[in-house]
């Protein structure tokens, strides 16, 4: 993805364009540069809130998507900014937006009680481990850990809730009591250990080799890819994963 005015945190309505099929995503923000970084990070880690945009990036590769400013907004009130975003949503009909209403995810409104519970949830202390189960550090929240390490907060949250074996190259767990020891056998099964020893080839969408990895796990740990997505591509159940083509070296 390319950035325009990338060093400026300005108030804008922007679009993300797929240059292959010209499909769009429209958004607005008070901090344009930070919003670009968040989109890219979430797309890389397979946790973007727009499943439509995520699937398209996985298919075509992130290099085929560009950011562009539609309008710089000088009246910096939330109501006016959203009204300008709504104007472009109505006129451009962006295919990748999950909701036709600006600032309203799927049209759902949350009560004060629900918002309070969500805030408390993100304040839970968490524990960070290496992939082999060695304790690294205790963090006071997923947000603190994500900001300090520079990884995706939702991915850490998924790992803490047991939705995936690990996230961003580490094992994560919510802290329960004073015991910090981790039962590694409960997080990695036999088939997982067997598969990780096979060398894999990472290719770009055009088929050019990017890198030969000793294992899929090594690639996921170093680059922050979601291992389940990479294994789906390796097994042939999907063509690409995380914007790349994946093949076992002995089958290439």
Task: Set out the domains of the chain in order of their start, with CATH numbers.
Answer: 12-107 (3.40.1440.10), 132-185 (no CATH), 192-251 (1.10.10.10)
- Residue 129, exposed/middle/buried by CB under 10 A (0-12, 13-18, 19+)? buried
Sign of CA dihedral 163, 166, 169, 174: positive
Per-residue confidence (pLDDT) for residue 8, from 0 to 100: 55
pLDDT band at 72 (very low <50, low <70, confident <90, very high): confident
Q: Which of 251, 249, 225 lies closest to 58, judged by CA?
A: 225
Q: Which of 119, 132, 126 lies closest to 149, judged by CA?
A: 126
Do the bridges between strand 24-29 and strand 65-72 make them parallel or antiparallel, or are there none, so unpaired?
unpaired
Per-residue confidence (pLDDT) for residue 152, from 0 to 100: 61
Per-residue confidence (pLDDT) for residue 227, from 0 to 100: 65
Query: Taking residues 201-214, what's their average pLDDT?
Result: 89
Per-residue confidence (pLDDT) for residue 61, from 0 to 100: 92
Mean pLDDT in the chain? 78
Stated pTM of the model: 0.43
The H-or-E segment that residue 25 falls in is strand 24-29
pLDDT band at 251 (very low <50, low <70, confident <90, very high): confident
Per-residue confidence (pLDDT) for residue 16, from 0 to 100: 96
Per-residue confidence (pLDDT) for residue 24, from 0 to 100: 94
pLDDT band at 104 (very low <50, low <70, confident <90, very high): low
Backbone angles phi, psi at 117, to 5 degrees: -65, -40
Which of 6-10, 104-108, 141-145, 151-155 has the largest mean confidence?
A: 141-145
Per-residue confidence (pLDDT) for residue 122, from 0 to 100: 60
Per-residue confidence (pLDDT) for residue 139, from 0 to 100: 93
Beta partners for residue 67, in sequence order: 16
Q: How far apart are CA 47 and CA 53, in angstroms?
A: 11
Per-residue confidence (pLDDT) for residue 136, from 0 to 100: 92
Q: For 39-48, how does the pLDDT look when each residue is reduced to its tens digit (9 = 90+)?
A: 999 898 888 8
230 and 242 Cβ atoms separated by less than 8 Å = yes
Buried b or exposed e, range 85-103, using 16+ CB within 10 angstroms: bbebbeeeebebbeeeebe
Query: Taking residues 87-113, what's their average pLDDT?
Result: 71
């Amino acid at each position: 993805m390319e950035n325009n005015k990338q060093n400026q945190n300005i108030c804008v309505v922007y679009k993300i364009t797929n240059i292959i099929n010209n499909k769009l995503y429209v958004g607005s923000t008070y901090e344009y540069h930070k919003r670009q970084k968040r989109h890219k990070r979430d797309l890389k880690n397979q946790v973007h809130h727009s499943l439509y945009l995520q699937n398209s990036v996985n298919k075509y590769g992130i290099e085929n998507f560009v950011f562009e400013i539609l309008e710089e907004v000088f009246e910096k009130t939330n109501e006016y900014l959203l009204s300008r975003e709504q104007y472009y949503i109505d006129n451009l009909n962006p295919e990748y937006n999950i909701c036709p209403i600006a600032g309203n995810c799927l049209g759902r409104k949350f009560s004060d009680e629900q918002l309070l519970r969500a805030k408390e949830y993100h304040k839970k202390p968490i524990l960070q481990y290496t992939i082999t189960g060695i304790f690294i550090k205790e963090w006071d929240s997923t947000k603190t850990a994500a900001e300090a390490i520079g990884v995706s907060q939702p991915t850490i949250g998924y790992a803490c809730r047991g939705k995936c074996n690990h996230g961003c190259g580490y094992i994560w767990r919510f802290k329960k009591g004073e015991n910090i020891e981790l039962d590694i056998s409960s997080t990695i099964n036999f088939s997982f250990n067997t598969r990780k020893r096979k060398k894999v080839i990472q290719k770009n969408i055009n088929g050019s080799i990017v890198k030969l990895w000793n294992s899929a796990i090594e690639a996921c740990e170093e680059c922050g890819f979601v291992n389940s997505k990479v294994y789906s591509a390796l097994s042939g159940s999907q063509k690409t994963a995380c914007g790349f083509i994946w093949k076992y070296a002995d089958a290439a």
